[in-house]
Structure 1
Amino acid sequence: MVAYLTKSPEIIGITPHYIDRLMPPVPWFDYGSFGVAVFFLISGFVIPFSLKNKKPARFIMARAVRIYPTYIFASLTMMLFIFMTSRFYWGAAPEFSFWNVLANLTLTQLIFDQRSMDAVNWTLSIEIVFYLFCAVFRGKILSGSVSLIFITSLTVCLLTYLSKGMPNTYSIGEFKLSPYGIKMCLLFMLFMSIGILFHYHLEQRINSRQLIIYSIALFAIVLVTWYIGPIADQFPNSPMSYAYALLLFSTCYALRDKFREFRVLSFLSSISYPYYALHSVIGYATLRILVDHNVGVAAAFFITFAFILLLSTLLHYTVEKPSIFLSKKIA
């Protein structure tokens, strides 16, 4: 199952953002956090494969070509949708500042304290930080260095503690730098590194006993860093959801030879990244408009799903597939 999901981990991160509106609440569990956590683990697991045949600069170039064209086109589509619905449905003009748009399109909005335009691109910002980490320490990761993972995690934990008194944002004129956003990126980069440990196990760099011990130890450091960091108010629901995600990922990894490909999921997997990039604002706005016109919640959900599915399919074939082809050519 893990091998299948790794084709496009965004498929895991998408569904909970809609499902949590329909499913009953579960104590100490957040559907959205759970989906994002599985997405992070899968990404941490598969990215080291991309490091093998590419030098750091080429790796970063390939990932940029893979990520940015699709995301930029999805964001421009979302902005057009916002402009049209704001003007012709809600009767209010949308506000987009140059710096806000630039930070969002470059996925640096967390670092530079800019409001997210779609409420989901924070995960992609963390992905970018993780790519940079992997590029810088490519040799160590390919050699199966466990010490790299734990030295990094303990350093991040210590820096998070020492910086507790720092302002969330430093401003110099219009320029802003966000220690809050940086610490958030580093926190989830540590969680993604658990996926690297599973990669080490698959490559027989560590044995099963070591994988269990190291994963538990690293997750414990993540929890401590989370508790002393800028988003400590998310305890206990979000951290527990990440624990559940780790349990699911571990189970699927252990049973990875038992799963078979399912054609419908294969298709959804192929378009999951554009779907992820498009689904939030366009999806919620479409749901709201449909419900305002007396469409039932369940029907509105499926109409919205079909609408985003159509947009995602178009974006996949016109932008994403060519960018995937180009990224593979960067060797």
Structure 2
Amino acid sequence: MSKINSIHYLRGTAAVLVVLYHLRGTLNDVYSQKDLGDLLFSFGAFGVDLFFIISGFIICFATNKYEANLGVNYIVRRIFRIYPLLIAGVTFYYIFVFESADLGFYLRSLIPLGHNISEGSPFFGYNMLTPAWTLTYEILFYFIFLIAMLINHRSRAVICVVMLVCLVFGIQYSQTGTVTMQGYNKNSFFEGSMLHAPLTILASPMFIDFIYGIIIYKIASLRIFDKSTTLNKFVYPLCVLLFGMSALMILSCQVYGHGPLIWGIWSAWLVLSLVMMERISRFKEIPIMNFFGDISYSLYLTHVIIIDAYHRNPDIFTLFQSTNGITKLMFLFFTSVFVAYVCHEIIEKKSIALGKYVINKINSKITKSIF
């Protein structure tokens, strides 16, 4: 199976919800319900925790098959998947939107590192391209997973979980004598040292979200679901109930905020329920959901460029500055979707293809050197 539809659809949904969360202000103070935007979309930021859980699941799924030159291929794929769009987005934002000539912040954002690690988890001062703060976690997680995979490919998931638990809680306990699962905290370790950024970030409980994704992958991989139709008849309605309960908790804002004990755990139940439902009964192809799943990374990373450009450069959008409410929201949303589609076609697809080309070249050279 090359694609899990439930995961792909969730990825697209998460990106859309993050965009709507950032656009919620366009609906506030416009209609009789003054906080309409907050009421409708304030939960949308949970898409970040959802992305982390999906990443934990997908990285296990994508590396299921052992291959020669595993480490090199893995690194090349991750670099060409993440960095071309990140570099393009941050650079464009710095040149055309950002209101400062802070070169240091620009270079930190390319790594990517937050503006001020001492501000604490989960944002660490944010990235210049605001949504890219999450890529700091993603890249560190990919690196830890690489180490786990090189130690033992078959046990990579378990090793990665153990490493993450040891890092998050080991660093916290060694420095403070206590541990926390709160995504929001002011922990700041080894200030003034080169270890300040990596160890402070690695101590963030946000990494537990990735563990949720790994655990979900292991549960969904159990072969018992292939053999027991009786069990599946029980599991499927249970998953439907779990999905409804999780969605209701998130949409109603009964839980609010980033972290493994808040949006993280409920997003995990959401992912687990959908993955298991598809495990038992294959989901149909839905073109619009496939579309948003395809452009999810571009949409997530670039939409803030459109929103900030709109607000900071009113002369460019003269025809639309007088619009309010749903008109403004729809304009900015569909403009963001269009830009994301263009970036997906021009940057994402081509960089992924280039990554495959580089991998083929490296593998062919290694094969020739052997023979």
Establish whether residue 267 from structure 1 lines up as the match of residue 291 from structure 2.
yes
Aligned to 1:88: none
Aligned to 1:248: 270
Q: Report the Cα distance in structure 2 between the residues aligned to 1:147 and 1:44, rounded to whole angstroms.
A: 13
Q: Report the Cα distance in structure 1 between the residues aligned to 2:203 and 2:282, rounded to whole angstroms.
A: 38
For structure 2, the 5+ residue unaligned runs are: 25-35, 119-124, 178-186, 236-254, 361-371
For structure 1, the 5+ residue unaligned runs are: 84-93, 213-234
Establish whether residue 97 from structure 1 lines up as the match of residue 86 from structure 2.
no
Pairing partner for 2:330 from 278, 302, 315: 302
Establish whether residue 279 from structure 1 lines up as the match of residue 284 from structure 2.
no
C-alpha change, 1:317 and 1:246, in structure 2 (3 Å) is same
Farther off after superposition, 147-156 or 11-20: 147-156
Aligned to 1:193: 211
Q: Report the Cα distance in structure 2 between the residues aligned to 1:205 and 1:188, rounded to whole angstroms.
A: 30
- Cα-Cα RMSD: 3.5
Q: Please tell me whether the aligned partners of residues 78 and 282 of structure 1 are also in contact (alpha carbons under 8 angstroms).
A: no
Question: Kindly, what percent of the aligned residue pairs are identical?
Answer: 22
Aligned to 2:196: 177
Aligned-residue offset at 1:11 = 2.5
Q: Please tell me whether the aligned partners of residues 15 and 300 of structure 2 are also in contact (alpha carbons under 8 angstroms).
A: yes
**1:30-63 Cα distance to aligned partner (Å, 9 max, x none):** 6244211111111111112333335123211210
Partner SS, residue 255 of structure 1: helix
The residue correspondences of 1:138-177 to structure 2 (distance < 5 A) are: 138=149, 139-140=151-152, 142-143=154-155, 146=158, 149-150=161-162, 152-164=164-176, 167=188, 170-171=191-192, 177=196
Q: Which has the higher contact order (CA 8 A, sep 6+)?
A: 1
Aligned-residue offset at 1:147 = 6.2
Pairing partner for 2:96 from 73, 81, 90: 81
**1:154-188 Cα distance to aligned partner (Å, 9 max, x none):** 5522321332387457237xx8933543423xx22
Pairing partner for 1:323 from 351, 355, 360: 351
Establish whether residue 31 from structure 1 lines up as the match of residue 11 from structure 2.
no
Q: Please tell me whether the aligned partners of residues 14 and 275 of structure 1 are also in contact (alpha carbons under 8 angstroms).
A: yes
C-alpha change, 1:111 and 1:5, in structure 2 (3 Å) is farther
Q: Report the Cα distance in structure 1 between the residues aligned to 2:115 and 2:221, rounded to whole angstroms.
A: 34
Q: Report the Cα distance in structure 1 between the residues aligned to 2:295 and 2:266, rounded to whole angstroms.
A: 26
The residue correspondences of 1:40-55 to structure 2 (distance < 5 A) are: 40-51=52-63, 52=65, 53=67, 55=70
Q: Please tell me whether the aligned partners of residues 8 and 273 of structure 1 are also in contact (alpha carbons under 8 angstroms).
A: no
**1:109-132 Cα distance to aligned partner (Å, 9 max, x none):** 379666521221121111101100
Q: Please tell me whether the aligned partners of residues 161 and 211 of structure 2 are also in contact (alpha carbons under 8 angstroms).
A: yes
C-alpha change, 1:99 and 1:205, in structure 2 (3 Å) is farther
Q: Report the Cα distance in structure 2 between the residues aligned to 1:164 and 1:62, rounded to whole angstroms.
A: 37
Aligned-residue offset at 1:189 = 2.3
Aligned to 2:249: none
Farther off after superposition, 286-295 or 259-268: 286-295
Aligned to 1:215: none
C-alpha change, 1:156 and 1:308, in structure 2 (3 Å) is same
Pairing partner for 1:125 from 136, 146, 152: 136
Aligned-residue offset at 1:314 = 1.8
Amino acid at match of 1:96: A
Farther off after superposition, 69-78 or 9-18: 9-18
Q: Please tell me whether the aligned partners of residues 110 and 122 of structure 1 are also in contact (alpha carbons under 8 angstroms).
A: no
Which of these two proteins has the greater Rg computed from alpha carbons?
A: 2
Q: Name the TM-score, length of structure 2 as normaliser.
A: 0.67
Partner SS, residue 97 of structure 2: helix
C-alpha change, 1:298 and 1:314, in structure 2 (3 Å) is same
Aligned-residue offset at 1:320 = 1.0
Q: Name the TM-score, length of structure 1 as normaliser.
A: 0.74
